[in-house]
Chain A
Amino acid sequence: MAQHPIEMILLKQWASLIAVPVWITDADGRLVYYNEPTEEIIGVRFEDAGEMSADQLAEVFVICDIDGSPLADDDRPLMIALTKQMSAHRRIRFLRADKQWREIAVTAIPIIGEGNRHLGAMVTMWEDSE
């Protein structure tokens, strides 16, 4: 596997040290890392989940709108960050590994390097009590 850009290496190092949930994908939407606070929300250790493609992600991590209706790609914060390179925020429902639905708020931010190099996106999330 090729080396990641330095911006992504530093982002992963930063994420590994903070107490805020951070999920990182590359420019193709491939999951490359999430940190321990994220593990607590989704119920799966990254070491067990491992890196996975965008297609695999859609199968393993099931999400829907806050009212339970399906969520189109265009409405998913991560997809907006990846395809439109815009920040996006939404409350969603998420099926944990223990098959329990949880409501979470998700904010996705595109990662863009100097020279408009699209490197990927990061997502932060938190359990939503509203």
Chain B
Amino acid sequence: MRLTLHGTRGSMGRAGPETMEFGGDTSCVDLVNEDGAILVLDAGSGLSRLNQALDPSPPRIDVLLTHLHLDHLQGLGFFRPAFSEDVEVHLWGPASSTMTLSDRLSRYLSPPLFPVRIRDLPALRFHDLRPGTYQVGNYEVTADLVCHPGPTLGFRITDGSKTISYLPDHEPALGEDFPRANEWTSGFDLSQEVDLLIHDFQYTAGEYQERIGWGHSSIPQTLQFATQVEARRLVSFHHDPDHNDSTLGRIHDEALGSGLPFELIPGTGGLTIDV
């Protein structure tokens, strides 16, 4: 299984000379396995970087949406396969107790917020996703709700040989006592002993103290979480827009020098990783 990080930035895009290394596009990852089956994780602005790679488009593309915050959606209206009559783009996103996935996405994909309506994207197919295990193309996907404002899913994905988990927006430390027992830790089952964990890396410890409850982790909390679940490799992800390359380089150097029990891979824009 090979994955590529098309967008690693969190909350909002931050393009410019100060983010050339870690990237300015928001959340999007694609997976390709040995059979060539493509699975896309989130539809942030990084999704538009897939347009060239998917030209011509395969007849079916599956996109897993962790949640519907804009930094995970804003690439959808610029994703060329979605406009095609000959392609099926299957969107799998968290179910809500009040509205369908399609209706909720329509709030953004309609004027005045966006000029294109969801009905103008004929390729889209919608799947309201509840906690459980699903077969999505050639991948087995386990979805579960995780700690982040609003219905938000994390994913555990396997192609039968390797397993990754994807929790780009995750605050497992919310509340008292962290780390805590495994059964009381958000995201634990999704991430236990995975080959690769892609996880929220948004705040420094100091920043987190002023943003408790915003749905993200401090970097020390993410390192602790990766240790607790016994991940083999951790990819830092969802970088804060105010963390430039210099800041992120220093943060990663400090983490790498602290004797981690797993391999830490700095999540840089465009990075391809063989799992």
What is the 8 Å Cβ interface bit string for chain B, positions 125-139, against chain A (1 contact, 0 not)? Answer: 000001100000000
Q: Which residues in window 19-66 of A have CB below 8 A to B? A: none
Contact B151 A17 (CB under 8 A): no
Contact B185 A3 (CB under 8 A): yes
Q: State whether A1 and B175 are in contact (beta carbons under 8 Å apart), knowing that A6-B144, A6-B145, A114-B97 are contacts in the complex.
A: no
Give the size category of B's interface with A.
20 to 34
Contact B185 A114 (CB under 8 A): no
Interface residues of chain A, those whose CB is within 8 Å of chain B, are 1-7, 9-10, 12-14, 16-17, 113-115, 117
Q: Which residues in window 188-206 of B have CB below 8 A to A? A: 188-189
List, sorted by A's number, 25 A–B pairs whose CB atoms are closer than 8 Å.
A1-B182, A3-B183, A3-B184, A3-B188, A3-B189, A4-B183, A5-B131, A6-B144, A6-B147, A6-B186, A7-B145, A9-B184, A10-B147, A10-B174, A12-B175, A12-B184, A13-B174, A13-B175, A13-B176, A17-B175, A113-B145, A114-B96, A114-B97, A115-B97, A117-B130
Min CB gap A109→B, angstroms: 16
- Chain A residues with Cβ below 8 Å from B87 are none
Contact B95 A115 (CB under 8 A): yes
Interface residues of chain B, those whose CB is within 8 Å of chain A, are 95-97, 130-131, 144-147, 151, 174-176, 182-186, 188-189
* A4 to B181 alpha-carbon distance, docked (Å): 11
- Chain B residues with Cβ below 8 Å from A1 are 182-183
- Chain B residues with Cβ below 8 Å from A17 are 175-176
* A6 to B97 alpha-carbon distance, docked (Å): 16
A-B complex: 9 closest residue pairs judged by Cβ atoms: A13-B175, A3-B189, A6-B145, A114-B97, A115-B130, A3-B188, A1-B183, A3-B183, A6-B186
- Chain A residues with Cβ below 8 Å from B130 are 114-115, 117
- Chain A residues with Cβ below 8 Å from B151 are 114
Since A113-B145, A114-B96, A115-B95 are in contact, a sample of 13 more A-B pairs with Cβ atoms closer than 8 Å, ordered by chain A residue number, is: A1-B183, A3-B188, A3-B189, A6-B144, A6-B146, A6-B147, A6-B186, A9-B186, A13-B176, A16-B175, A16-B176, A114-B95, A117-B131
* A3 to B185 alpha-carbon distance, docked (Å): 7
Residue of A1, A6, A7, A14 ringed by the most chain B CB atoms within 10 A? A6
